[in-house]
Amino acid sequence: MSEGRFAGSVAIVTGAGSGIGRATAIGLAEGGGRIIVGDVNRARADETVALLPPGAGVAVVGDLTESVVADALVAAAEALGPPDILVNCAGYGGGRAAFGSFEPMLWNRIQEVNLGGPFHLIGRVIEGMAQRGRGAIVNVASVAGIVGEPGIFGYSAAKAGMVNLTRALALHYAARGVRVNCVCPGVTDTNFLVNVRAAPDAEEIFARYARLMPIGRIARAEEIAEAILFLASDAASFCVGVVLPVDGGWTAG
- Per annotation, catalytic residue among 92, 155, 173, 209: 155
pLDDT at 1: 41
pLDDT at 74: 97
Burial of 96 (0-12, 13-18, 19+ CB in 10 A): buried
pLDDT at 95: 67
CATH of 10-191+219-244, one of 3.30.479.30, 2.40.128.20, 3.30.590.10, 3.40.50.720: 3.40.50.720
Residue range 185-206: average pLDDT?
Answer: 83
pLDDT for residue 97 is more than 80? no
> Does the active-site annotation cover 92?
no
pLDDT for residue 232 is more than 90? yes
How far is it, in rounded angstroms, from Cα 174 to Cα 135?
10
pLDDT at 147: 92
